[in-house]
Chains A and B, each alone.
Chain A
């Protein structure tokens, strides 16, 4: 061992760990996380747990929004933070079980947990469950099972999609003369992550209402096949912009979709955010966002529960119940586009307009 004296080895070993530790330590100085220091006070103490799906807490989508609502409630009702991020589909049942054992109200985030919620809810009849984007579905069945301790929190993404679709289409109608950045090909685009229901519902509403505003409009749809690889969404959006002259791009791809908004911004056209209000990403070019107020739903559910009003039949989070909507409008959005959206929103609330769940051809 000519070159490797013992001290060198030990130093090397230490260095190895230090690099890892330094990274961890450095971050902590920035903003100290952790919620363990909150001390529960008065009120009837409640115990709430949140189980994410494989997207994890920072998915820029519903997991994140659920956590936002959860945190808000946590600060208000002073319960201990109990969160599990699932790493694997096989983890759902066991994570829900663990959560149910230690908390009284358990949130399951994502439609992929439907079967798991059903099983665990049967096992823990005294505990309450709420599932976002889904309901308790027994394995092998198609339909929801109504259980007294499970609150299904459904959203009508298509209605949100409809509103932003209407805004986009109206802007196209207004055309190049009014909005100079448009390319004048009467074409808008949507970039989805994967063609799965929560994604396609948004796009269905988007296309449906865009066509409703302007039947001659072209809507191009692409999927990046990924929710994380930002550059793939960016490429998809760019291809829509460059090849089809699309000038408003609706992203429905979580973290990946941030790239689509970026592409639009760079190309000098417009983007539409999804789930959360994503105007903050590009205040100018992100003309609006299709909102899915998961945070509101989570907070409301906890609030109801804390006041003893848990129901297994919560309202559907649609426009009428302010569960979906559109977000901050950028300054470039003309008034007629906004009024068009509001007009459609009224029709939907009134029930005179029903937005389909499947993408119209």
Chain B
């Protein structure tokens, strides 16, 4: 009973399409995490930044009747929240973990509160189709068997995420700016003495992580769900964080981790047909991640100065 269903599920384009979409949703905040941690700022607040992105994206889209404006607003909102994290952790040298937790808590409270104030509790309606981030169908390519469904019928943000993924990989490891970012994350003093503006770079990277998380929020709310729900990110930012570490702080690695996780998520719904308890199936992505962590990856080394506030020429 199990194996036929399993085979049918695993070979269906539908599963892989869903896996890639889940993965892309995780990938954006994960990329944000990568760039932030590479510059030496620990960011566990992707969850909150995403959630803010969801809410602001929907609210602004409704107000402006333009999805583009909504997406921009979501991105900016994520960036602003990240800026708070930046100020607190770079300038005020706060404990970055606490700051991250605080941002998550604040984002949850704020979005819930605003949602109630705005709708009186009824909840935001589904957005009209023209107020959504559209799914791109690549003409004849989309008609290809299997591959068409998996690769060429995805949301526009999916392709954007791929572009950002490749761009970020290139940026970090093939450009001068990337060299500087890595230098700042590994050894801020050295970077400073080489004339690199350490704080500026850290700010930029943290804000970038917020922008990406905000975009992920917009993707979730405007692309996938078409509405806002309280706490609709449901822990995704933390999974993205895990993907960052799991992916050894590289964009491609994180993408691999997100893919594993997305596959787990998509499988857990589809294997319910086999009669396995849905609760147990829901643990699948997490178990897959742990197994991958044990078996394939092993030790990951964070950038040397990750999480350490930089104090130029400090009083020791």
Contacts and interface: CB of A to CB of B under 8 A. Distances in A.
A binds B: yes
Interface of A: 1-4, 8-9, 12-13, 15-16, 19-20, 23-24, 27-28, 30-33, 56-60, 64, 67-68, 71, 194-195, 220, 222-226, 228-232, 234-236, 238-239, 242-243, 255-256, 258-259, 261-262, 265-266, 276, 280-282
Given A56-B112, A64-B123, A230 B272 contact: no
A239 B270 contact: yes
Given A2-B312, A243-B270, A228 B229 contact: yes
A296 to B, nearest CB: 16
A109 B282 CA distance: 27
B206 to A, nearest CB: 13
Pairs A-B, 8 closest by C-beta atoms:
A230-B225, A255-B229, A229-B234, A242-B14, A281-B126, A225-B282, A12-B87, A231-B224
B269 A230 contact: no
B114 A261 contact: no
Given A228-B231, A232-B269, 5 more contacts: A3-B199, A27-B114, A58-B115, A64-B123, A239-B18
Interface of B: 8-9, 12, 14-15, 18, 21-22, 25, 80-81, 83-84, 87-88, 91-92, 106, 110, 112-123, 125-126, 129, 135, 199, 220, 224-227, 229-234, 236, 265-266, 268-270, 272-273, 278-279, 282, 311-313
B126 A282 contact: yes
A16 B84 contact: yes
A13 B233 CA distance: 28
Contact of B229 (A20, A32, A230, A265): A230
A30 B62 CA distance: 13
Contact of B234 (A226, A234, A281): A226
Contacts, number: 164
30 contacts: A9-B92, A19-B80, A19-B83, A28-B117, A31-B117, A58-B112, A59-B230, A194-B279, A222-B269, A225-B278, A226-B234, A228-B230, A230-B220, A231-B224, A232-B234, A234-B224, A234-B225, A235-B265, A235-B269, A238-B18, A239-B18, A239-B266, A243-B9, A243-B270, A255-B123, A255-B229, A258-B126, A261-B126, A265-B126, A281-B126
- Chain B interface main SS type: helix
A235 B155 CA distance: 14
A161 B196 CA distance: 65
A68 B120 CA distance: 9
A12 B224 contact: no
Contacts of B234: 226, 228-229, 232
Nearest to A4: B91
B116 A15 contact: no
Contacts of A59: 230
B123 A223 contact: no
A175 B296 CA distance: 51
B230 A230 contact: no
**Most chain B CB inside 10 Å of its own CB: which residue of A13, A31, A242:** A242
B230 A255 contact: yes
Contacts of A24: 110, 113-114
Nearest to A59: B230
B277 to A, nearest CB: 9
**Most chain B CB inside 10 Å of its own CB: which residue of A9, A225, A231, A258:** A231
Given A222-B272, A231-B224, A238 B232 contact: no
B51 to A, nearest CB: 11
A360 B80 CA distance: 52
Contacts of B129: 265-266
A259 B83 contact: no
Contacts of A19: 80-81, 83-84
A259 B225 contact: yes
Contacts of A1: 311-312
Contact of B265 (A20, A71, A232, A261): A232
A282 B220 CA distance: 19
Contact of A12 (B14, B92, B268): B92
A255 B18 contact: no
Contact of A60 (B84, B113, B114, B123): B123
